[in-house]
Amino acid sequence: MTNYEEAFKKITAHAREYGFVFQSSDIYDGLSAVYDYGQNGVELKNNIKDYWWKAMVRYHENIVGIDSAIFMHPTIWKASGHVDAFNDPMIDNKDSRKRYRADVLIEDHLAKIEEKINKEVTKAAARFGDAFDENQFRATNARVLENQSKIDAINARFIHSLETNDLADLKKLIEELNIVCPVSGSRNWTEVRQFNLMFSTRMGSVTEDASAIYLRPETAQGIFVNFLNVMKTGRMKIPFGIAQIGKAFRNEIVARQFIFRMREFEQMEMQFFVRPGTELQWFEFWKKERMNWHLSLGIDSENFRFHDHEKLAHYANAATDIEFKFPFGFKELEGIHSRTDFDLSAHQKFSGKKMQYFDPELNESYVPYVVETSIGLDRTFLAILSHAYTEEKLEDGSERAVMKLPPVLAPVKAAILPLVAKDGLPELARSIMDNLKVDYNCQYEEKDSIGKRYRRHDAIGTPYCITVDHQSLEDNTVTIRERDTMKQERIPVEKISGVIAARLK
């Protein structure tokens, strides 16, 4: 097992052990790529939603939220292009009978070559020390240049076959690159076929009358089809945005990497409606705004990067991903797309309703252009969880696993712990708990030694442990222990709430 696999395994095991994430239908051996959130997971997830909602809806006066239904009229998915084109190219290995995404096999191959380049660069940096000029090295080193030209050539062909939907060439490329099945090690591949990712079901109680409908594969279409409703009833003036958090479903061909790629997941999306011609300015605005949101959680900027799309969807005129350094490498966390008037125009055509805005400044009506920000809630959860998970060796030689979550997102804000469960300590601790729980999610615990209780709360990321001891009964003070430094301080009971509040700001 590689280091990163080892590290990732620890995080997923920790998430299960401490009630963050469980495999769905666990007692029936699970359901592939479907997960449940446990008692701590749901708190963390709700806190992330709340943090996003406040940043997007509350702090922007021109953005409002909605909550649209998962089931929608089937024509919506025809108009949006999902019925015809929401496909992934799949390929099977005949020996292992494992199924793969053809594009992902090629992307992984490209990543390996990229990795070779990075190794050369790291080696050279160590050799040359301070005098090392990375840009110059990349532009002149023969091995780097050779690998880079391989990447460029593969990429050009790969993008061309995707754009022209040339599935036979995708297969040829996989064969020419000698890509083997990671399980069987063989090159015995089937043809590449397109696979539609939408789940369908039937609505209606009588089978003959029932019509096929889809479980939405994205929340965005629920926003587009409510554009007129919200614009009119909310008296919205362009530029304005509509935000939504909700479930989406995709029948992913290969679901792996825990909650990174699920078949049922949640998205937090915002569609920003703008005057045509101003969309690229707004695209830049939202790129910055969204990156700042990620950085505001206190995670170092080196963990994030933009990845501009080389192959733009036919309706987009700019698109970028915010990628996060997951334990398995940089991967997409959020997409920011300038979608032109594609969706509203398509719905105008299919529904026959005018999806237009009358601009009083220009004195004309138009179909607005749209810039969207689309982030996976579960992927954000995974990013935050994997970044927060830390193993530390302590001075006394023992070890602790601590979840260094941003306090504002921590499932439990404070643990209230009577040192012993007698002598009137539980009563005082309970009264502190009763006061604090009105404002914060707190936990009262009296079982086990105080050290064990501290460790349990470190493991779920509780920023503060408040211990009530015998002195507390005399002078109404408690010790408050901070999670990351483990420093303890004695403070009056009435100051506890203020200390917690200051940390959450």
Minimum CB–partner distance for residue 499 and ligand ATP (Å):
35
| Cα 73–chain centre separation | 28
Return d(Cα 499, Cα 300) in angstroms, integer: 25
Angle subtended by helix axes 3-17 and 377-388, to nearest 10: 110
**Residues ≥6 apart with Cβ < 8 Å to 69:** 222
Stretch that binds ligand ATP, among 144-152, 201-209, 375-383, 445-453 (CB under 6 A): 375-383
CB of 473 to ligand ATP, least distance (A): 51
Whether residue 411 contacts residue 40, with contact meaning beta carbons closer than 8 Å, is answered with: yes
290 binds ligand ATP (CB under 6 A): no
Residue 483 sits in the site that holds ligand ATP (CB under 6 A): no
User: Which stretch of DSSP H or E encloses residue 351?
Assistant: helix 342-351
Pairing of strands 442-444, 414-418: parallel
Q: Does residue 265 touch ligand ATP according to CB under 6 A?
A: yes
H runs (alpha helix) in 352-505: 377-388, 425-436, 450-460, 470-475, 496-504
Cβ 290 to ligand ATP, closest distance in Å?
11
Nearest-angstrom CA–CA distance, 109 and 100: 13
Scanning 169-177, 259-267, 353-361, 406-414 for contacts with ligand ATP by CB under 6 A, the matching segment is: 259-267
CA distance 245 to 378: 12
Site for ligand ATP in 303-332 (CB under 6 A): 332
Of 56-64, 106-114, 368-376, 409-417, which segment contacts ligand ATP by CB under 6 A?
368-376
Which of 290, 453 has the CB closer to ligand ATP?
A: 290
Beta carbons of 257 and 277 less than 8 angstroms apart: no
Of the residues 252, 284, 359, 446, which one makes contact with ligand ATP according to CB under 6 A: 252
Distances (CA, A) of 267 to 81, 249, 419: 19, 10, 43
The CA distance from 467 to 420, in Å, is: 10
Site size toward ligand ATP, by CB under 6 A: 16
* 407 contributes a contact to ligand ATP by CB under 6 A: no
What the block records as the tokens of 245 is 């958090």
User: Could you tell me the smallest distance in angstroms from the CB atom of residue 227 to ligand ATP?
Assistant: 20
User: Does 101 participate in binding ligand ATP (rule CB under 6 A)?
Assistant: no
With CA atoms as reference, report the closest residue to 203 among 70, 300, 87, 95.
70
Find the binder of ligand ATP among 93, 147, 267, 320 (CB under 6 A): 267
The whole-angstrom distance between residue 220's C-alpha and the CA centroid of its chain comes to 16
Least distance to ligand ATP, CB of residue 379, Å? 4
- Kindly tell me which residue out of 261, 290, 294, 339 binds ligand ATP, with binding defined by CB under 6 A: 261
Give 243 or 425: the residue with its C-beta nearer to ligand ATP.
243
Whether the upstream peptide bond of residue 239 has omega within 30° of 0, thus cis, is yes
Q: Which of positions 113-152 make contact with ligand ATP (CB under 6 A)?
A: none
Residue 333 found at the interface with ligand ATP (CB under 6 A): yes
Q: Kindly state the tokens that stand for 380.
A: 């954000």
Please give the order of strands across the beta sheet that includes 99-101.
Answer: 99-101, 87-92, 193-196
Is position 379 an interface residue for ligand ATP (rule: CB under 6 A)? yes
262 contacts ligand ATP (rule: CB under 6 A): yes
| Rounded Cα distance, 270 and 273, in Å | 10
Q: Which of 14, 250, 287, 413 binds ligand ATP (CB under 6 A)?
A: 250
* Touching ligand ATP, residues 200-239 (CB under 6 A): 218
Q: Point out the residue whose Cβ comes nearest to ligand ATP.
A: 376
Position 403 contacts ligand ATP (CB under 6 A): no
Q: Which of 56, 274, 367, 375 binds ligand ATP (CB under 6 A)?
A: 375
Whole-angstrom distance, CA of residue 332 vs CA of residue 244 = 20
Rg, the chain, Cα only: 26
Q: Which helix (H) or strand (E) holds 418?
A: strand 414-418
Please identify, using beta-carbon distances, which residue of 267 and 462 lies nearer to ligand ATP.
Answer: 267
Which of 244, 232, 240, 107 is closest to 177 using CA atoms? 107
Is residue 453 a contact residue for ligand ATP (CB under 6 A)? no
Minimal distance, residue 320 CB to ligand ATP, in Å: 11
Q: Is 406 in the site for ligand ATP (CB under 6 A)?
A: no
Q: Is 287 in the site for ligand ATP (CB under 6 A)?
A: no
Nearer to ligand ATP by Cβ, of 295 and 501: the residue is: 295
Of residues 107 and 482, the one with the C-beta less far from ligand ATP: 107
| Interacting residues toward ligand ATP by CB under 6 A | 218, 250, 252, 261-262, 265, 267, 332-335, 374-376, 378-379
